[in-house]
């Protein structure tokens, strides 16, 4: 009868508790996966990744492997770089899909897969800490997290999402292995770790600390608290010192298996980390990163740089910040305290330079890492607690507290408001690139690729300017190479590694250091076979023109093509830097095989881990015997240790009443109040009190909504200084309508006239400058107005300017408005002017052919002459000056190169004349030139820029040969911070210790050009002003007699000595443009002669065929007093004129 009743009860229980199906059991996870496809998938398919920072970089790497799976060297960036410098897992996946659907669709597919994998990983990992329902909510929270939206749709990070997904999927296996010793879990966990490393080794390195560490600690702690079989129950009620070791022994005996398994997993993790990307570690050892620290906004003080705090801290956290206190309370009062501690560390490291602690903790890695990754990981670590919070908000204690204290209506309204705010933040983050453009407008790369593919243009390198991260997409569509690139950790050129700039194409955003580094490449392009520049930003046009580049005009996509004549092509026998075959095979097989293995193991665990084993035969039996012989000593040692610990723990006296003895529940003493808080939250309150509380909350919500609406409808009126700053910022970003709205409505001209007045000056500052800073000082104030002295700092590609101007403001209609001064009413005397001119046309080949240019079609080089060639020492720097004349009948595009040689004729250094030279010379025209050797021109053993640029240097050596080195820095210790580089100063040349300059050779060469420099500028009314005490200056007028606006007037000043020879060459740019038939005044300080010393080495010029160069082709136009150190001065005027300018 008893048996029958028992079976009936079991049957009833079976009917009452049916087995829950897979879909119902994991319904929240399935909802999260569907949301990934619908939300992130639709955004990716719409092209959101095309406006991100890094998507095209990973597409470029994928294109490399799609072209050659086993190649380790790519010549398209940085004159060649090793692809072993970046783990290839995600790139191999995109490359594989690109064979079927193309590169960009392949990237989209892999990114969607990475998000699906990450969602599953978050769900499985959260199950370690919270229940299934909370883990499901954590997966949904991941999909709608603002940090994921920003990482995917703003930063374009694929390796981060893909590697983190594999890591989180590995953690449940690691937990199961440590807890139970399941070998299948060990295999699956190590396999997922291998896939993590294949995608991104940094995730494995730091993930072992912040994600795997808490999981292993939790497993070991749980083992410490779990009594072994046969172990006496209870704990001694009172502690005695003689029981210390027995109690420790009992705990050790409990945890010994878990600790052993943790050690095994740790060893296998290190092996996987090293083995999977083993060629990368070898590369890092043989070619360590020499790049100086590049500033990144994630390391800034977020209280100072508020925009950086918004992008790298506030947006990733979003409304999750409201859950952070709850996460710490629930984590530290439960068994998830290791995760809570890890969350706190990550959140703190993600604050960047707001506090000095992250720098102290990270050490040298602080200047290399981008700290936003820690904030991203923190937003992932908090997800289990977010899931717990949502679960409590819907069906738990928080829901009960809301019902008890504010009623049913508000218990629904308040979570709805929180959800709306969270979704709004996520949508804002996902579409941030629409509100604030981080990249230039989309560029059609097809015309550029077509240009480089035809007429053998790919035999030279190119450079892009103003492309943003789209330069990587351009590189993926071409085989031609560039000196720039988009992965600075792999570059090896000293010209780039010694400068704190990320890319040359965006040099203006790096300030003065960026412009200075770009100038070096444009000055000596022949060193890099750099012939073409594709410019998408007019900011760089004056620098290109002044450096001798020729504007060929725009392509059909609007990108201007600049060409430098007389640059030698790349050598046909260029040495390949491919890694050895075994490294390339390892790189092309092990990482993708690791990902494939991890996917198979995950699928294997999904279907229930079927039984497997080695077939039984003689070989397998021999293998098992050898394995047992290897591990049996370890097992025997472990058994002996366990026996010793068991004997020690037996000394603990038995507890007579185990029910009254203390237990292990007090291991978190601060967790005791939590149950009481839960009971109090569920306690009912009186109806009247609940209504009062609900009314108070409703009033607060209404007031908050009204305050927000009022702030939007009637924003705070800006101060006068803020109006001035906003006005010039609007002009800088070409927001002319917004700038016009800040002018006084009573006195401002109509909008069309306002635009016309802005366009009157097309000069260097007005049209080719970037506003760097604005500062204002109040000069005077009246009841209805103010006058502010405004200092505007402008950065141009040639030099920086500080413009100081008074700005008058009036107070009207409750705000401040700028009283724009009256415009210049002068006009040119003639409405129509004509000028005769000589035109030139270069036909190129006489017959259209796909073959190379025939030698008979190559025009003879123009004949040049050099005069007054001198070598000087100026403040310890090598400088060469002289004059070059076009003695031919055709216009010449001139290149002047100076070389330093020792007694044996060995070349020590070379440099080209850049801005101090008129590169396009008409027949019979003469131009002075100046060449200043810089440090990166040296072929000797020069030191890093941060260390002062001095290595193995010796003092000046007397005699016929002179050795000049850079002065030692005041502090000789190593400097690891960014290096400031001023384009208006020179980084001195540093030669090897045994290098002695014995001669200076100057070579002038030219090719025929059809694009002569505009010669319509005339210098008139030249005079000398100033005094010896206050300093001399030369002043005069510059008249534009041409028919084209002189956008950037450029004056070259030739100083002569008493004997009539050239003594010094200087130059100056005028700030404003000169319209046709107009005149502008100029005033230029005279150069100082005190630091100019003739070098004690001969200088010889080689300009072409046998001609008798004149003693001086430029006669002095102004006599100078003797106390200036010079006898006379002549001026040569040239200008940059934009194509299509009136």
- Summarised one tens digit per residue, pLDDT across range 674-725 is 666 666 666 677 777 777 878 888 888 888 888 777 776 766 778 899 999 9
Count the alpha carbons within 13 Å of 9 in the hemisphere toward its beta carbon.
6
Distance, in Å, from the CA atom of 479 to the CA atom of 63, rounded to the nearest integer, reads 11
Q: Is residue 518 a contact partner of residue 543, using CB atoms and an 8 Å limit?
A: yes
The predicted pLDDT at position 881 comes to 94
Q: Which residues contact 410 (CB under 8 A, 6 or more apart)?
A: 402, 694, 697, 698
Distance, in Å, from the CA atom of 580 to the CA atom of 388, rounded to the nearest integer, reads 52
Task: Return the DSSP state at 482.
Answer: B
Q: Is residue 808 a contact partner of residue 787, using CB atoms and an 8 Å limit?
A: yes
Task: Return the DSSP state at 734.
Answer: T
Residue whose structure tokens are 């080719």: 768
Residue 965's pLDDT band (cuts 50, 70, 90):
very low
pLDDT tens, residue by residue, 929-959: 999 887 653 333 322 322 222 222 223 333 3
**Pairing of β 1031-1040 and β 1079-1085:** antiparallel
Residue 160 has pLDDT above 90, yes or no: yes
Distance, in Å, from the CA atom of 1100 to the CA atom of 537, rounded to the nearest integer, reads 40
> Out of 379-388, 901-910, 1013-1022, which region has the weakest mean confidence (pLDDT)?
1013-1022
**Pairing of β 999-1008 and β 1099-1102:** parallel
**Which candidate, 918, 943, 845, 107, places its Cα nearest to that of 473?**
107
The predicted pLDDT at position 680 comes to 66
Residue 37 has pLDDT above 90, yes or no: yes
Reading across the β-sheet that carries 1118-1119, which strands appear in turn? 1062-1069, 1048-1056, 1128-1136, 1118-1119
Q: Classify 333 as helix, strand or coil.
A: coil
Q: Is residue 82 a contact partner of residue 98, using CB atoms and an 8 Å limit?
A: no
Q: What percent of the chain has pLDDT over 70?
A: 81
The predicted pLDDT at position 956 comes to 34
Q: Classify 232 as helix, strand or coil.
A: coil
Distance, in Å, from the CA atom of 809 to the CA atom of 817, rounded to the nearest integer, reads 5
Tokens representing residue 684 in the block = 């009912």
**Pairing of β 999-1008 and β 892-901:** antiparallel
Task: Return the DSSP state at 978.
Answer: P
More confident site: 39 or 248: 39
**Which candidate, 958, 1015, 963, 1029, places its Cα nearest to that of 990?**
963
Dump strand ranges (E) for 362-460. none
Q: Is residue 1100 a contact partner of residue 1000, using CB atoms and an 8 Å limit?
A: yes
pLDDT tens, residue by residue, 460-472: 999 999 999 999 9
Exposure string over 674-706, b if 16+ CB within 10 A, otherwise e: eeeeeeebeeeeeeeebeebbeebeeeeeeeee
The predicted pLDDT at position 197 comes to 96
The predicted pLDDT at position 389 comes to 94
Residue 632 has pLDDT above 70, yes or no: no
Mean pLDDT of 838-855: 63
Q: Which residues contact 1022 (CB under 8 A, 6 or more apart)?
A: 1034, 1035, 1036, 1117, 1118, 1131
Identify the burial level of 742 via C-beta atoms within 10 angstroms of its C-beta, where 0-12 means exposed, 13-18 middle and 19 or more buried.
Answer: buried
Q: Is residue 763 a contact partner of residue 1075, using CB atoms and an 8 Å limit?
A: no
Task: Return the DSSP state at 838.
Answer: -
Residue 1054's pLDDT band (cuts 50, 70, 90):
very high
Mean pLDDT of 1110-1134: 82
Q: What is the pTM of this model?
A: 0.87
pLDDT tens, residue by residue, 392-451: 999 888 888 888 888 888 888 888 999 999 999 999 999 988 888 888 889 999 999 999
The answer as to CATH 3.10.450.50 being correct for domain 720-818 is: yes
Residue 502's pLDDT band (cuts 50, 70, 90):
confident
Determine which helix (DSSP H) or strand (DSSP E) holds 71, and give its type and residue range.
none
pLDDT tens, residue by residue, 176-221: 999 998 989 999 999 999 999 999 999 999 988 999 999 999 999 8
**Pairing of β 530-535 and β 461-465:** parallel
The predicted pLDDT at position 518 comes to 87
> Out of 490-494, 672-676, 824-828, 956-960, which region has the weakest mean confidence (pLDDT)?
956-960
Residue 384's pLDDT band (cuts 50, 70, 90):
very high
Torsion of the alpha carbons at 191, 195, 196 and 202, rounded to the nearest 10: 120
Residue 16 has pLDDT above 80, yes or no: no
């Amino acid at each position: 009868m008893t048996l029958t009743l028992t079976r009936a009860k079991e049957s009833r229980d079976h009917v009452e508790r049916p087995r829950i199906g897979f879909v119902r059991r994991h319904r929240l996870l399935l909802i999260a996966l569907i949301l990934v496809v619908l939300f992130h998938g639709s955004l990716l398919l719409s092209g959101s990744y095309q406006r991100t920072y890094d998507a095209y970089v990973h597409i470029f790497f994928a294109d490399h492997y799609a072209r050659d799976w086993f190649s380790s060297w790519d010549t398209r960036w940085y004159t060649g770089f090793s692809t072993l410098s970046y783990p290839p897992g995600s790139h191999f996946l995109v490359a594989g899909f690109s064979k079927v659907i193309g590169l960009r669709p392949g990237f989209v597919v892999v990114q969607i897969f990475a998000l699906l994998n990450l969602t599953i990983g978050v769900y499985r990992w959260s199950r370690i800490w919270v229940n299934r329902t909370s883990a499901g909510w954590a997966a949904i929270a991941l999909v709608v997290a603002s940090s994921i939206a920003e990482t995917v749709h703003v930063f374009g990070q694929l390796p981060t999402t893909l590697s983190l997904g594999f890591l989180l999927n590995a953690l449940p296996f690691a937990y199961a292995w440590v807890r139970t010793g399941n070998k299948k879990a060990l295999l699956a966990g190590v396999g997922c770790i291998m896939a993590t490393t294949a995608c991104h080794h940094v995730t494995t390195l730091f993930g072992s600390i912040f994600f795997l560490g808490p999981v292993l600690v939790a497993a070991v702690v749980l083992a410490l608290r779990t009594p072994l079989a046969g172990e006496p129950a209870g704990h001694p009620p009172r502690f005695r010192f003689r029981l210390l070791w027995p109690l420790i022994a009992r705990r050790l005996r409990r945890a010994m298996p878990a600790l052993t398994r943790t050690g095994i997993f740790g060893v296998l993790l290190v092996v996987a980390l090293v083995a999977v990307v083993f060629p990368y570690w070898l590369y890092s050892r043989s070619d360590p990163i020499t790049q100086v620290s590049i500033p990144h906004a994630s390391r800034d003080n977020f209280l100072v740089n508020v925009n950086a705090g918004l992008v790298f801290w506030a947006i990733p956290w979003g409304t999750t910040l409201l859950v952070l206190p709850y996460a710490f309370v629930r984590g530290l009062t439960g068994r998830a305290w290791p995760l809570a501690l890890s969350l706190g560390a990550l959140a703190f490291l993600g604050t960047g330079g707001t506090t000095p602690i992250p720098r102290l903790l990270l050490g040298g890695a602080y200047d290399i890492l981008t700290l936003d990754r820690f904030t991203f990981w923190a937003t992932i670590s908090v997800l289990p607690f977010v899931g717990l919070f949502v679960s409590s908000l819907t069906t738990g204690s928080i829901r009960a507290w809301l019902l008890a204290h504010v009623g049913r209506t508000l218990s629904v309204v308040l979570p709805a408001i929180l959800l709306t705010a969270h979704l709004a933040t996520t949508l804002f983050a996902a579409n941030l690139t629409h509100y604030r453009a981080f990249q230039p407008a989309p560029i059609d790369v097809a015309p550029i690729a077509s240009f480089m593919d035809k007429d053998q243009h790919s035999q030279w390198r190119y450079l892009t300017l103003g492309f943003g991260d789209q330069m990587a997409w351009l590189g993926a569509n071409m085989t031609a190479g560039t000196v720039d690139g988009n992965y600075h950790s792999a570059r090896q050129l000293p010209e780039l590694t010694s400068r704190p700039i990320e890319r040359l194409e965006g040099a203006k955003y790096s300030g003065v250091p960026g412009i200075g580094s770009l100038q070096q490449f444009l000055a000596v392009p022949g060193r890099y076979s750099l012939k073409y520049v594709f410019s998408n930003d007019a900011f760089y046009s004056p620098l290109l023109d002044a450096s001798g580049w020729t504007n060929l005009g725009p392509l059909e996509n609007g990108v201007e093509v600049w060409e430098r004549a007389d640059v030698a092509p790349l050598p046909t026998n260029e040495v390949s830097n491919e890694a050895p075959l075994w490294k390339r095979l390892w790189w092309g097989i092990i990482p993708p095989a690791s990902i494939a293995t991890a996917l198979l193991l995950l699928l294997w665990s999904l279907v229930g881990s079927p039984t497997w084993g080695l077939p039984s035969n003689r070989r397998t039996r021999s293998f098992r015997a050898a394995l047992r012989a290897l591990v049996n000593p370890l097992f025997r040692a472990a058994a002996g240790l366990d026996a010793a610990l068991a004997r020690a723990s037996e000394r603990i006296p038995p507890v007579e009443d185990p029910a009254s003895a203390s237990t292990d529940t007090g291991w978190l003493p601060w967790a005791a109040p939590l149950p009481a808080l839960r009971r109090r939250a569920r306690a009912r309150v009186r109806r009247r009190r609940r209504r009062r509380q609900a009314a108070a909350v409703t009033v607060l919500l209404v007031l908050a909504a009204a305050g927000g609406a009022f702030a939007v409808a009637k924003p705070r009126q800006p101060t006068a200084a803020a109006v001035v700053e906003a006005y010039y910022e609007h002009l800088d970003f070409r927001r002319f309508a917004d700038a016009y709205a800040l002018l006084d409505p009573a006195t401002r001209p109509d909008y069309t006239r306002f635009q016309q007045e802005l366009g009157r000056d097309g000069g260097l500052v007005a049209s080719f400058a970037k506003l760097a800073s604005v500062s204002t000082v109040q000069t005077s104030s009246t009841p209805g107005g103010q006058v502010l002295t405004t200092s505007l700092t402008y950065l141009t590609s040639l030099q920086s300017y500080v413009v100081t101007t008074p700005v008058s403001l009036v107070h009207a209609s409750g705000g401040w408005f700028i009283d724009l001064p009256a415009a210049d009413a002068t006009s040119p005397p003639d409405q129509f002017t004509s000028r005769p001119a000589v035109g030139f046309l270069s036909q190129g080949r006489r017959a259209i052919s796909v073959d190379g240019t025939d030698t008979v079609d190559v025009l003879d080089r123009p004949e040049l002459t050099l005069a007054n060639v001198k070598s000087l020492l100026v403040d310890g720097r090598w400088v060469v000056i002289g004059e070059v004349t076009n003695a031919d009948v055709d216009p010449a595009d001139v290149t002047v190169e100076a070389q330093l040689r020792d007694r044996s004729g060995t070349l020590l250094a070379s440099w080209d004349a850049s801005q101090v030279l008129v590169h396009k010379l008409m027949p019979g025209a003469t131009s002075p030139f100046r060449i200043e050797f810089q440090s990166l021109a040296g072929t000797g053993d020069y030191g890093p820029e941060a260390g002062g640029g001095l290595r193995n240097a010796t003092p000046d050596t007397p005699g016929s040969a002179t050795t000049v080195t850079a002065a030692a820095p005041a502090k000789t210790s190593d400097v690891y911070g960014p290096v400031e580089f001023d384009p208006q100063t020179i980084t001195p040349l540093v030669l090897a210790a045994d290098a002695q300059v014995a001669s200076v050779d100057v070579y002038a060469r030219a090719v025929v050009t059809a694009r002569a420099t505009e010669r319509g500028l005339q210098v008139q009314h030249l005079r000398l002003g100033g005094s010896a005490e206050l300093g001399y200056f030369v002043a005069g007028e510059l008249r534009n007699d041409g028919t084209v606006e002189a956008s950037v007037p450029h004056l070259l000043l030739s100083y002569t000595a008493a004997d009539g020879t050239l003594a010094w060459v200087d130059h100056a740019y005028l700030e404003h443009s000169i319209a046709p038939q107009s005149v502008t005044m100029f005033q230029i300080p005279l150069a100082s002669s005190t630091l100019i010393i003739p070098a004690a080495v001969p200088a010889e010029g080689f300009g072409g065929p046998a001609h008798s160069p004149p003693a001086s082709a430029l006669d002095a136009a102004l006599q100078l007093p003797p106390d200036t150190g010079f006898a006379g001065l002549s001026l040569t005027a040239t200008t940059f004129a934009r194509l299509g300018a009136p």
